[in-house]
Structure 1
């Protein structure tokens, strides 16, 4: 039986990835603050705020993740959930916004990765993918927090790969610029906080943003395909 966990599965890129995995015959466990409508067979959903470490820890203690992964012949964890805020230069970011970004983008992903590996010791084919960003590899004005959190995911897979865990393939994958709610947030940011705002407005107006369903399907195909993990830090546009 093929099983996958997808965080932030209820909209945008996460919904595209979840849909493609379901179509590929995976049972999917979606973790998000809201439910994904329109899917029934093969999809289980848990309402969970990944910005709340206590809530995530409590859920993991319930063994629901381990129960879902029981009897899996292959298992995938897609750490897709993420937030771009705060968008502002240093000094105007705010303690709570910084803490939430680090919690959602980094802490939750690493906690789930640890729990996933612990729950799949007997699974011969297990795969962990962090949905990263080009911002983790190139700095952008106003995005210092987002850049730092995505760089952390890139470096996490390098360290995990050095652990040499049996049966585990890992990758930190940048999806490109996708037409999601995150992009809407970016475009609504005042230019004084994000000097590149007009560039992203232009991407929307010119139709240059990727479609979440199309990109999600491409990511799902790569994550479940034979080349996954050959390179640790990748970009879907180059695969």
Structure 2
């Protein structure tokens, strides 16, 4: 029997919450990792949803969780096993001289280190003969900021570019079968957008453009974006383009 299992990070709000809701609506088994737990999702899909309260920016805590083999046990019996690296932060926003060492380290740990650790852990957990026929997929939730530099976002741009280049390099590996893609979701109407708009123009010169997108109703809903991401993720075309943008996707 086909059994799809998904590990999802950052599921408690915004795009991550919409992805989790839609995965469960599709009957997918979900293991969700985030700093906090979602208050209602567990009740909506008993037996299909597990969540772990884990600070993904705490590298030592994440390494300990991976060592617990919880991920390995979750993957057992899956005909398709998927990792969606969604958790991330846009902070610190501002020019270089305003960025604290702590905020930089935290952003790199959450935006880059955690996705890379989980990606490696997933492949290690499914490297046994029991998973020889398993369809493995990894989706990094990237950003246009990783492909086009934006003033005030040097850390965010750098971390998203790192995910893109990680996907490119991993796609060259021919050790175990894997489909991987780093996908930009477009400008989505989430709490992160509110956080961006609350930043002063002195720290973020492009502020006016984001305010205009909200004012003119041009932000895409998290639900619509989640549907497009998942349609692509489960399509036959997933991974054919390692670097993708949800606004340009065509799935069959």
Tell me, yes or no, whether TM beats 0.5. yes
> Could you tell me how far apart the structure 2 residues matched to 1:154 and 1:111 are?
15
CA distance in 1, matches of 2:187, 2:20: 19
* 8 Å contact from structure 2 (residues 78, 134) kept in 1: no
1: CA distance, partners of 2:126 / 2:80: 9
Secondary structure of 2:180's partner? strand
Match of 1:232 among 230, 242, 250: 242
1:185 alignment partner, one of 169, 183, 195: 195
In the alignment, structure 2 segments of 5+ residues that lack a partner are none
- The Cα offsets for residues 88-138 of structure 1, whole Å up to 9 and x where unpaired, read as 111111101111110000000000000011112215201001000000000
2:93 equivalent among 87, 90, 95: 87
- Paired residues of 1:88 and 1:142 also in contact (CA < 8 A): yes
Partner of 1:151: 161
Assess if the C-alpha contact under 8 Å between 2:146 and 2:161 holds in 1.
yes
1:141–1:196 CA contact under 8 A, matched in 2: yes
How far is the alpha carbon of 1:210 from its aligned partner?
Answer: 1.0
Alignment partner of 1:112 out of 110, 118, 122: 118
**Runs of at least 5 residues in structure 1 that lack an aligned partner in the other structure:** none
TM-score, length basis structure 1: 0.97
Q: Give CA deviations for 1:12-58 in whole Å, capped at 9, x if unaligned.
A: 10111111221222100010112223323211000011110011011
Aligned to 2:228: 218
What are the residue-to-residue correspondences of 1:121-140 with 2, within 5 Å?
121=127, 122=131, 123-140=133-150
Q: Which gives a bigger RCO, structure 1 or 2 (Cα 8 Å, sep 6+)?
A: 1
What is the correspondence of 1:7-22 to structure 2 with a 5 Å cutoff? 7-22=9-24
1:169 is the counterpart of 2:175: no
Tell me the TM-score normalized by structure 2: 0.92
Cα displacement (A) at 1:204: 1.0
Counterpart-to-counterpart distance in 2, 1:35 and 1:217: 22
What count of residue pairs does the alignment treat as equivalent? 239
